[in-house]
Every structure is written in structure tokens, then in C-alpha cells.
Amino acid sequence: MRVVGGEWRGRPLVAPAGRGTRPTSDKVREAMFDVLLALPEVRAGGAAAPVAGPLGGHVVLDLFAGSGALGIEALSRGAGACTFVESERAALRALRANLERLGVTVGMRERRDKGGDDGRASRARVLAADARRALQADARRGARYTLLFADPPYERYAEVRPALARLLGPLLAPHAVLVIETAAGTAAGLPWTIVRERRYGDTRVTFLVAADVPDDEGEVADDDRPVI
């Protein structure tokens, strides 16, 4: 598994051990980014100051991140920052190893001492949390993303989908782009506008665009419902 484009093109990535995650293949990832970079909403850039690269200005959320390959691909192509959300231990080990090998500065919640920061701007956040609680926490802090990837386990998508539909809205900047991976026979079923849809073997990738006004109606409070 390798980075397929941008600054780190060709650099190897570590895949998680075991069968708990299903990394997106290099060929599918390359095809996804070819489609993504052709979208006018992506070419328009994010709200941040322009950065070199086709994804300059974008703030990215990589949900169910696994090895982090999708978010890393976005950073390689110039995205300003990426938040990686993952709860599985083997995947977290692979994700952190990949960021370290690429020299990506990670802003860590537990790093509060003054000596723990070398002065470089953090381009990555790693949240070791289940998706629902991570989304709620980001909503409380007022996070806004211009580009979002979600690659949940195919067999759990029916369980995950309602929570994504309920919780993502407050985190999406106007015209944010969402890239959702599901099994080939499974529709994304989310309340945003589908602009492209592609099938790669047993994978369906759906590209959606958020409305031009932020959705502040989503849920932010913790509750006792099952986590995703």
C-alpha cells in the first residue's frame, strides 16, 4: 500500500494487522481522487488560506480512518489539516506509524506540557474514539470540514448510516464534499446531493455535496444510545 499522488507519492503505508479493517486499495484510491479533484466544489478550495496543491485550503475529516490512507492522500495533495477518527487498536497503531514515517506533525490532546511542542503547526489530529462520540465532540467545539471521507465496515453500514445522517450536518462547511464508501449493492442514503457515483469491484463510492448554508440542526449532546 502506497501514497498514490502528491508530495508523498510512492511512499509506503503500513496496513493494519489482522482482519478488523479493510484498507482502500491503491487503484481505488487513485480513481477516487481523480473524480474528487474534478469536482468544482473541490477545485474552489476551502475557507482557509490557499496552500500549494490541488486540495489547498481544505480541512479534512477521515472517519473510520483505518490506516489513514485517505486522509494522508489528501494531506499529500495539499490539504491544510486532517482529523483522523479510529477506535480499533491495530488500525490506530498503523495510522500513527504512517503519520510518523511521513513526518506529519500531530496535535495530541494529551500533550499539554510546553516541552511537548516543537513549534511546528499540527496538520493532523488523531481521535481514538468511536465515530458518534468523535462527531459530537467536534460539533461542540465548532469544527467545520470542507472534505469528508467515511469508510465504515460494509457489514455495519445499515447501523452506521442513521448516525451519519444525524450528526454530520453541523460539521459540514457550505458546499463541503463527502466521499462515502459502501458495498457495491448499498446506496449511501444520506441527505446531501449526490454529484457522482462510481463502482470499483465490490465497492461503491458516492460523492455528495452539502448545501450552501451550514446545517446547525444536528445532535451534539452525549446520550445513552449505542455508539457507532
DSSP sequence for the chain: -B--SSTTTT-B-PPPSSSS--PPPHHHHHHHHHHHHHSHHHHT--SSPP-SSTTTT-EEEEET-TT-HHHHHHHHTT-SEEEEEE--HHHHHHHHHHHHHTT--EE-TT--SGGG--SPPP-EEEEES-HHHHHHHHHHTT--EEEEEE---GGGHHHHHHHHHHHSGGGEEEEEEEEEEEETT-----SSEEEEEEEETTEEEEEEE--SS----S--S--SSPP-
Structural domain includes residue 171: yes
Residue 184's pLDDT is: 94
Cα separation, 7 vs 177, whole angstroms: 22
The pLDDT profile of the chain, 228 residues, written as one tens digit per residue, is 999 999 999 999 999 876 556 677 889 999 999 999 999 989 876 654 445 789 998 999 999 999 999 999 999 999 999 999 999 999 999 999 999 999 998 985 433 333 444 445 689 999 999 999 999 999 999 999 999 999 999 999 999 999 999 999 999 999 999 999 999 999 999 999 999 999 999 999 999 999 886 666 544 444 433 333
Domain containing residue 49:
26-111+119-209
Provide the number of structural domains found in the chain: 1
Query: Per the domain annotation, does 3 fall within a domain?
Result: no
In a domain, 201, yes or no: yes
The pLDDT value given to residue 107: 83
The CATH number for 147's domain is 3.40.50.150
pLDDT at 227: 35
* Cell representation of residue 4: 498514490
Output the pTM of the full model.
Answer: 0.86
11 belongs to a structural domain: no
Cα–Cα dist 123/67, whole Å: 16
